[in-house]
Amino acid sequence: MNLGYSWVLVAIMAVITVLLRAAPLLGRRWLGNNYFIERLNQNLPGCVMVILVCSSLTTASATATPFFREIGALVIVALSYLLWRKALVSVILGVALLSLLFEVFP
Amino acid sequence: MDATRKTLWSRAFKLTLPVGMGYIPTGFAFGVLGTEAGFPLSLTIGMSCFIFAGALQFAAIPLLVSGAGVVTMAVTTLLINLRHVLYALPLLDYLPHRRASRGYVIAALTDENFSVLSSTPADAPRADLALPVSFINHGYWIAGTAVGALAGQQAMQWVPHIAFALPCLFTILAIEQYLAKRSWFAIGTGLVAFVVARAFSSKFVLIGALLIGLVVLCIKAISQEKE
């Protein structure tokens, strides 16, 4: 990993993020009444999050295939979050359960 | 600090406590994962200072490690944070009057800052609270990251599979998005886009899936606009 290049990428992420957040100041009238942007924002965040789940699952997986331990742990994470709405509890539960599953099914 | 300012900051502190409960552990997880990925302390903490966008920061870890291209990083940022475009709109009349404070509040407008600022009681001095609320929440995030990055090596020894915290966190955020919008179409599009992108490329899966998802959702938005 090239540290200088990493800082350039961090700067790019920071600038684009700030520009997106500041967009309404620049185009208040256009954005405020734009039905297309409104419809896009209805679905885009959920779609992006699902893609991030899949992508991070393949990156974080300790084994190539299959993902049954990871998927099983994620199902429990989802159920526990729907039940208790405690993000930290669900994350801890997920990591602990995955460690347990690797012990039981090495 | 005069009495009015003190009251304002203490009120902001009370308003931001629930966010702190989420930001400190999540920032901690980011700090640990950054250390695990081999980032120096300055880069991990710098990301939390200058980007301040949880989902993007987590998604950026593998991309930085793999030395992703500038275009890949720019498009990923755009797609993950596009939702922020609309956040400032309902707050425009409640932003601080001073230009520097206004600029900082806008730059730090995360999902959580938006939810706190937009749900502040109507009788509260919203414009005056915007700066302390944003500043305190940003502080939680940076503090969590710093502690996580410093404790990273030990945390990895104590907790195997800690990298799995990332898919867990994204799953929770996906559930939150579903509960907010109730759109199965968004969930299905994300799944199909990922499967299709993975079938065609092993190197550009994330960016490919994000672009496929964006195209499908643009087509849907255009068709809804015509109806």
- Per residue in B117-147, pLDDT (tens digit) is 877 776 778 888 999 999 999 999 999 999 9
Q: For residue A23, what are the domain limits?
A: 1-33
Same domain, B156 and B194: no
- B128 or B225, which is more confident: B128
Same domain, A49 and A27: no
Is the pLDDT assigned to residue B204 strictly greater than 90?
A: no
Same domain, B64 and B169: yes
Query: Do A52 and B59 lie within an 8 Å CB cutoff?
Result: yes
Set of chain B residues whose Cβ sits within 8 Å of the Cβ of A49: 55, 170, 173-174, 177, 190
Q: Does A10 touch chain B (CB under 8 A)?
A: yes
Same domain, A51 and A86: yes
pLDDT class of A42 with cuts at 50, 70, 90: confident
Nearest to B189 among A18, A47, A98 (CB): A47
Q: Is A40 within the bounds of a domain?
A: no
Same domain, A16 and A58: no
Same domain, B9 and B52: yes
pTM score over 0.80: no
Set of chain A residues whose Cβ sits within 8 Å of the Cβ of B67: 1-2, 5
Set of chain A residues whose Cβ sits within 8 Å of the Cβ of B100: none
Number of folded domains that form chain B = 2
Same domain, B193 and B166: no
To which H or E segment does residue B168 belong?
Answer: helix B165-181
- A34 or B180, which is more confident: B180
Same domain, B31 and B141: yes
Same domain, A51 and A100: yes
Same domain, B175 and B84: yes
Same domain, B218 and B112: no
Q: Is A39 within the bounds of a domain?
A: no
For B76, the 3-state DSSP assignment is helix
Set of chain B residues whose Cβ sits within 8 Å of the Cβ of A91: 25, 29, 165, 168-169, 172
Mark which residues 114-133 of B lie under 8 Å from A by CB: none
Q: Which of B75, B172, B203, B218 to mutate to test the interface with A (most CBs of A within 10 A)?
A: B172
Set of chain A residues whose Cβ sits within 8 Å of the Cβ of B178: 46
Is the pLDDT assigned to residue A62 strictly greater than 60?
A: no
Same domain, A29 and A49: no
Is the pLDDT assigned to residue A65 strictly greater than 60?
A: no
Task: State the greatest distance between any 2 C-alpha atoms of chain A, in Å, as a whole number.
Answer: 58
Same domain, B67 and B100: yes
pLDDT in the model for residue B3? 65
Number of folded domains that form chain A = 2
Same domain, B134 and B90: yes
DSSP secondary structure letters along A59-103: HH-SSSS--HHHHHHHHHHHHHHHHH--HHHHHHHHHHHHHHHHH
How close does chain A come to B3, measured CA to CA in Å?
A: 32
Kindly report which listed range (A49-53, B110-114, B121-125) carries the lowest average pLDDT score: B121-125
Q: For residue B112, what are the domain limits?
A: 3-181
Same domain, B58 and B141: yes
As a whole number of angstroms, the distance between CA B158 and CA A99 comes to 11
Cβ pair A45, B181 in contact under 8 A:
yes
Query: What would the mean pLDDT of A63-87 be, rounded to a whole number?
Result: 84
pLDDT in the model for residue B216? 93
Same domain, B98 and B25: yes
